[in-house]
Structure 1
């Protein structure tokens, strides 16, 4: 993108709408995205800081009047300056507290969208982190009224799980001119932030409200960072920052701004869903659209519902991509007709293994393996299509060879060579030579015997007539001649059916193997995430105890106990086995229809 686009428009009526042009840009990005959003009071220089992250002097409009310039949420997609195959998405949001707007509810939704879409949220304020700056962040305490992790959750339950969904938090304090000192002791920026977020003693309503905000910030954002930046230039030059060269900006500001940018570039993670599912640009577009729709329809965002809807679209696309990969590789590997069904089956196994691996790398939230079963069914159907094409190619090739070899027999018939005593014997010898020459021909494929039998059945009247005219042939020999080709065709059909049954068995084993590997990885990720949440809660509990808030620490201890119980359940292998058993049971149902069709076809071949 050469310049930013508006991602979420904030209409005059206060209704938020996702912009189709911006969604289309995002939908075209298949790479993982690092999403950095900035929020804060209006006219505090958010856009200038975002332009520096973009390494551009202009881009997001700065505005120099007291009136707010940015409306809604603006987006800029750029190649990530530090990571290959990753896109940096910058989101600049409408300023909080704009007096011209007068709608705190609208402010809260803009902030909530920035929070949920980003992997790192930058909160921008000016001067110091004082009570006014904290009060502007009061929208955080209202999140429990607007956001649910799961439908039906209470506000308290949702808040306890927010840490799994929320981004990293960076507080950028602009135009900071004071000394970094607390109680006469010099501190660094992070210590300064943690001091500000300490709970205040007292039981008044005002103190309780102030502490509630501090608790939310500490609980929702375990990864916190602070940067203080002095004014970038002299006051008279602040209205033309876009025009200033680097040499005209204050060295201390440049030093701090560079440190801020390096931190974001080096540490801001790829946007991820629970389970470390990396979000691509197209997935981010879907989330943005679904979040805005939920705001307009119900006024409550359910994160699990949005993820489920996203998973439906992404998993459907994963199935389609895996099947397309399978078909493409089969086309490249196979030269039809194959010499045997086993040869086609081996190619199928190789291509299926690759397609399944691609699917497993993309699929997420596939409860009860619904999409894996769909993939299994579609791959089996695609394999059967290749089998039909293989058989058709074999039939065409085999018939062409038979017609070529039969010409010699026809010429002898025309000359009357078989209409003499002993002619039937000579005919049988020539027929034997024809079969031997036929089987020596390469590339006949899996239907060679069946085509030969059908071909001979087409000339059965001639064969019987010649045999009847020649009394030298015994009745047993006549029966042998009549049944030899049919027996060969039946044996060939039996081998083909057994080969396909073996292919299905191996396919199911491969699906179960890759599913088990994925489940093991998911279990490890879930345990790590759970342990991270527990450690964060324990640190907060210790901090509350040190600050003298025993009641709050006790409540947090109950959360920790519940999380530890959940962790012990996650460790059990039984849930993995249930998934594997469920896949095996469902797969038998999915594949039984195809197996029955193959059996019917085989029986028809044996007993037409």
Structure 2
């Protein structure tokens, strides 16, 4: 509940200037608008100078700054004044005290004001205190009757039957009447027996019997009207507060010890009754009145009294209830929207389940706050359901849009490799369909495992797979056509026929399916022609013009500082390893790491890794599963002599390479147009090498295609493949060598500085 706005003293609520129509004080209205608590509204009416303000000040607990008492003969309170305080007895409620201008002021130009003020007090209040003096006589009853200007249409609305004990909804609008009889000197007796104050009041409101004259009939009508309009009644009789006139003029400022003890005790009983028994103000249908509702109805109360037509009030109440119920519906819709928007859903079924739970919560919230009036709760619920379904459609659209964005992002990342391969026609080769299916299934698997893709995940995957159907058919047809051509076995019957050699190399397949590819590993000192040999092999196997794919070395030495792989065919990859500067202990480990395929392709090779880095690299590679057939090839320039330390280091490397790969290394002597090539060949033969070739590479400055050059290059590749065929057919433990590689590298990493 919102706190009660602090006001230091009573404030005018209804301004009644006399010469102008009554109006609502906007400042007081703003105070009420900020009160969300239920109101207990107590108003006091009666003749001026009858002590009304004193009783209200007792209820508010104010001894200073309360309602003005005044002590002159002119009425001091004009219009209706209001004081707001937290209810002393009802937690979470606000007590509104209304002090009205005194009736019967001879200074008033228009005595109809008395009727208007009393009528307003009746409409606004939970309880009306009618303050009169001395006795309840016919004159006092007549004044109360004539001032109830709204009694005609109120009593018609209530339409209570004398024999009905059941309270109707409209009874909530009728205030409690508390008749306070001040300065009473009479002895409370009825027909000579003692009577209570309540019995005295009821006796005063009984019909006069027998009815004999129009006058007595009118008197009975007044009594009946009061009884019907105030079905709940209470009476308090107060003795004189004091016989001292000075004290009577300043009662709020004197101690209770100076007042008559009977008056003080009667005041306490009155105070306790009002705070304990007066209920919260309610409207038609039983809806409790809050400060904001009270502020909304103030002008309607004035209009009702002016026009003597309750339709104005009922219409205003209907508008207010409609607006408040609409606010409740909006809050329920907002609760639904917040609950739905914060959920991550991945299917329509899941969305529907959350929707149903959220609807139930929203409807329950509406049912708790719904305000009953002429429009049924079912009608509002139907409107609420329409709002919720509209909100559901909006949120579903948001879920779809968000999911589409998320799924497109995920799928875009996963299919980038497939898109690139399609663009480069890498699936339009023998075996391409199987590779395509593998890549496609990997996308599906990773896409399915990705969480929180939203409600469009399945639909988008279906669209993606549908978009691949035509492409897949084309790849399958191409694969079948090329495989039919490839299934033709190419044989080399003439080693000098370049076409036969080319067809054999391009169609080459490893003898066993357990092997992925042939890895031709090139080693040698920087600037000896490894990169040029790669370019020459690519040129010899293609029908295109020469290209410097590998990056030809300059006169200052080799350019390659990383380990690069070049695909000659689907089954053969040639690797340009980083060139050596000196085969010392720092370079040695990296040479063997490249040889054993432990260093990833297309990464920079550094000679100065720490021992921990080398061990970590071996450990990571140990987790991978590879089945490549490695063929070591040493590239050495014929322009360089081979002796001393280099001779011993190369010999040791070639012997170790044979042990690790199970294949005798190949030696390619580049720039072989020099005279010392024969002696160089002899040195390699002396090391135990059998496959030694002399070759003049294609280079950028000498790219003219010659049959002799092509034949030399193709012959080397052909002999490499024949060596692979021999070793893979005769050795059953070929794949187990991988563990030997890793053990060797671990040992080397532990012994090298």
**When the two structures are superposed, what TM-score results if normalisation uses the length of structure 1?**
0.71
Which of residues 348, 354, 363 in structure 2 aligns to 1:347?
354
When residues 199 and 271 of structure 1 are mapped into structure 2, their CA distance, relative to the original with a 3 A threshold, is same
Write the distance in 2 (CA, Å) between the matches of 1:472 and 1:196. 118
Aligned to 2:255: 245
Q: How does 1:211-230 map to 2 (within 5 A)?
A: 211-230=220-239
SS of the residue corresponding to residue 379 of structure 1 reads helix
Aligned to 2:664: none
1:463, distance to aligned residue in structure 2 (A): 4.1
1:123, distance to aligned residue in structure 2 (A): 0.8
When residues 4 and 356 of structure 1 are mapped into structure 2, their CA distance, relative to the original with a 3 A threshold, is farther
Q: How does 1:273-352 map to 2 (within 5 A)?
A: 273-296=283-306, 298-302=307-311, 303-331=313-341, 334-336=342-344, 338-352=345-359
Contact 2:18 2:109 in 1 (8 A): no
Aligned to 1:76: 83
Aligned to 1:31: 37
- The Cα offsets for residues 293-352 of structure 1, whole Å up to 9 and x where unpaired, read as 3445x3433343333232222222222222233334444xx333x122333333333332
Aligned to 2:12: 6
Q: How does 1:75-474 map to 2 (within 5 A)?
A: 75-139=82-146, 142-145=149-152, 147=154, 163=171, 165-201=173-209, 202-233=211-242, 234-296=244-306, 298-302=307-311, 303-331=313-341, 334-336=342-344, 338-360=345-367, 361-367=369-375, 369-413=378-422, 416-456=425-465, 462-471=471-480
SS of the residue corresponding to residue 277 of structure 1 reads coil
1:251, distance to aligned residue in structure 2 (A): 2.0
Write the distance in 2 (CA, Å) between the matches of 1:410 and 1:457. 15
SS of the residue corresponding to residue 276 of structure 1 reads coil
SS of the residue corresponding to residue 90 of structure 1 reads strand
SS of the residue corresponding to residue 250 of structure 2 reads helix
Aligned to 2:53: 47
Aligned to 1:526: none
Contact 1:423 1:470 in 2 (8 A): yes
SS of the residue corresponding to residue 2 of structure 1 reads coil
When residues 455 and 2 of structure 1 are mapped into structure 2, their CA distance, relative to the original with a 3 A threshold, is farther
Aligned CA-pair RMSD: 2.7
1:180, distance to aligned residue in structure 2 (A): 1.7
Write the distance in 1 (CA, Å) between the matches of 2:454 and 2:263. 76
Write the distance in 1 (CA, Å) between the matches of 2:8 and 2:45. 23
Write the distance in 2 (CA, Å) between the matches of 1:183 and 1:429. 112
1:362, distance to aligned residue in structure 2 (A): 2.5
Write the distance in 1 (CA, Å) between the matches of 2:248 and 2:370. 48
Contact 2:205 2:227 in 1 (8 A): yes
Write the distance in 1 (CA, Å) between the matches of 2:156 and 2:395. 45
Write the distance in 1 (CA, Å) between the matches of 2:258 and 2:240. 12
When residues 329 and 248 of structure 1 are mapped into structure 2, their CA distance, relative to the original with a 3 A threshold, is farther
Write the distance in 1 (CA, Å) between the matches of 2:235 and 2:51. 16
Q: Choose 206-215 or 115-124, whichever is displaced more.
A: 206-215
Contact 1:163 1:219 in 2 (8 A): no
Q: Choose 30-39 or 287-296, whichever is displaced more.
A: 287-296
SS of the residue corresponding to residue 29 of structure 1 reads coil
Write the distance in 1 (CA, Å) between the matches of 2:141 and 2:183. 17
SS of the residue corresponding to residue 272 of structure 1 reads coil
Write the distance in 2 (CA, Å) between the matches of 1:462 and 1:272. 75
1:23, distance to aligned residue in structure 2 (A): 1.6
When residues 162 and 39 of structure 1 are mapped into structure 2, their CA distance, relative to the original with a 3 A threshold, is farther
Aligned to 1:561: none
Structure with larger Rg = 2
Which of residues 62, 65, 74 in structure 2 aligns to 1:56?
62
Write the distance in 2 (CA, Å) between the matches of 1:23 and 1:341. 50
When residues 118 and 416 of structure 1 are mapped into structure 2, their CA distance, relative to the original with a 3 A threshold, is same
Gaps of at least 5 residues in structure 2 are 1-6, 160-167, 483-753
Larger helix proportion of the pair: 1
- The Cα offsets for residues 558-592 of structure 1, whole Å up to 9 and x where unpaired, read as xxxxxxxxxxxxxxxxxxxxxxxxxxxxxxxxxxx
1:171, distance to aligned residue in structure 2 (A): 0.5
Which of residues 51, 67, 92 in structure 1 aligns to 2:74?
67
Write the distance in 2 (CA, Å) between the matches of 1:391 and 1:291. 52
Gaps of at least 5 residues in structure 1 are 154-159, 474-608
**When the two structures are superposed, what TM-score results if normalisation uses the length of structure 2?**
0.58
Contact 2:42 2:129 in 1 (8 A): yes
When residues 86 and 274 of structure 1 are mapped into structure 2, their CA distance, relative to the original with a 3 A threshold, is same
Write the distance in 2 (CA, Å) between the matches of 1:256 and 1:355. 51
Write the distance in 1 (CA, Å) between the matches of 2:186 and 2:295. 42
1:460, distance to aligned residue in structure 2 (A): 6.2
Write the distance in 1 (CA, Å) between the matches of 2:155 and 2:396. 50
Contact 2:286 2:372 in 1 (8 A): no
SS of the residue corresponding to residue 132 of structure 2 reads strand
Q: How does 1:532-551 map to 2 (within 5 A)?
A: none
Aligned to 1:522: none
Relative CO higher for 1 or 2, CA cutoff 8 Å, sep ≥ 6? 1
Contact 1:148 1:300 in 2 (8 A): no
SS of the residue corresponding to residue 415 of structure 2 reads helix
When residues 205 and 436 of structure 1 are mapped into structure 2, their CA distance, relative to the original with a 3 A threshold, is same
1:370, distance to aligned residue in structure 2 (A): 3.9
Aligned length: 463
- The Cα offsets for residues 355-395 of structure 1, whole Å up to 9 and x where unpaired, read as 22232232322525443332222111222222122222222
Write the distance in 2 (CA, Å) between the matches of 1:163 and 1:442. 61
Write the distance in 1 (CA, Å) between the matches of 2:339 and 2:94. 30
Contact 2:82 2:97 in 1 (8 A): yes
1:411, distance to aligned residue in structure 2 (A): 4.6
1:192, distance to aligned residue in structure 2 (A): 0.9
Write the distance in 2 (CA, Å) between the matches of 1:321 and 1:458. 45
